[in-house]
Structure formats: structure tokens, C-alpha cells
Structure 1
Amino acid sequence: MSLLGKKWPVPVGKTVWPFYAAGVVILYGVNAAANASMNSAEFKNDPRNPHAKPAKKDH
């Protein structure tokens, strides 16, 4: 007996591929928007921006 129960011959991958494709497209769009936001003039020098240049300290 299987731990997952009875195996049903259901083509799961064939039925949910549009949702996987849409998820990839949405993730790509969110990533592109975040990168564009990080490189915009408004957030260019924000200390939370991982691409920001570190401020030079004068001693």
C-alpha cells in the first residue's frame, strides 16, 4: 500500500500548465518592475537599495 493513497491516472501536468506559465510571467514582471524601481532616480540613493553606492564617510 502506498503512503500517498491510491494512484489515479489523472494528467495533472497537462491541466495546470497554463497556471505555471502565468506564474512565471507574473514573477518575471514583478522582478522587472522591482529592478526598474531600484534603478529609478527616486530610489537611487536610498540606503535600503542593494544597488546603492555606499556613502563615503569623512573623518
Structure 2
Amino acid sequence: MSLLGKKFPAPVARPMWPFYISGVVVLYGVNAFANVLANTDEFKNDPRNPAAKNPKADH
């Protein structure tokens, strides 16, 4: 008696490949858009911006 019940030979990865590809494309687009927004004039000098230059760390 198995813990998960009877195994069925159903394909999982092959019919799901369009969703995997679209997920990667959406995540890449969101990352690129977030980087563009973080480098705008409004948020360029924000101390919470990880890409901002921190003058205190230079000393």
C-alpha cells in the first residue's frame, strides 16, 4: 500500500511548457521595469535604493 495512492502516467512538464516560458518572460519584464523605475530622478537618491551611492560607506 503506497502513501500517495496509484500512480498514473500523466505528462506534467510537456503540456505546461508555455506557462513556464511565459512565467520567465513576465519575471524578466518585471525585473527590468523595476530597475528602470529605481533609476528615475525621483528615486535615484532614495536611501532605500540598493543601487544608490551611499556617501557614508566611503569613509
TM bucket, shorter chain:
0.7 to 0.9
Structure-2-length-normalised TM-score: 0.80
Runs (4+) off by over 3 Å:
none
Q: Which amino acid aligns with 1:6?
A: K
Q: TM-score, normalised by structure 1?
A: 0.80
Per-residue deviation, 1:5: 2.0
In the alignment of these two chains, the number of paired residues is 56
- For structure 2, the 5+ residue unaligned runs are none
- Residues of 1 paired with 2:27 and 2:33: CA distance? 10
2:27 matched to which residue of 1? 27
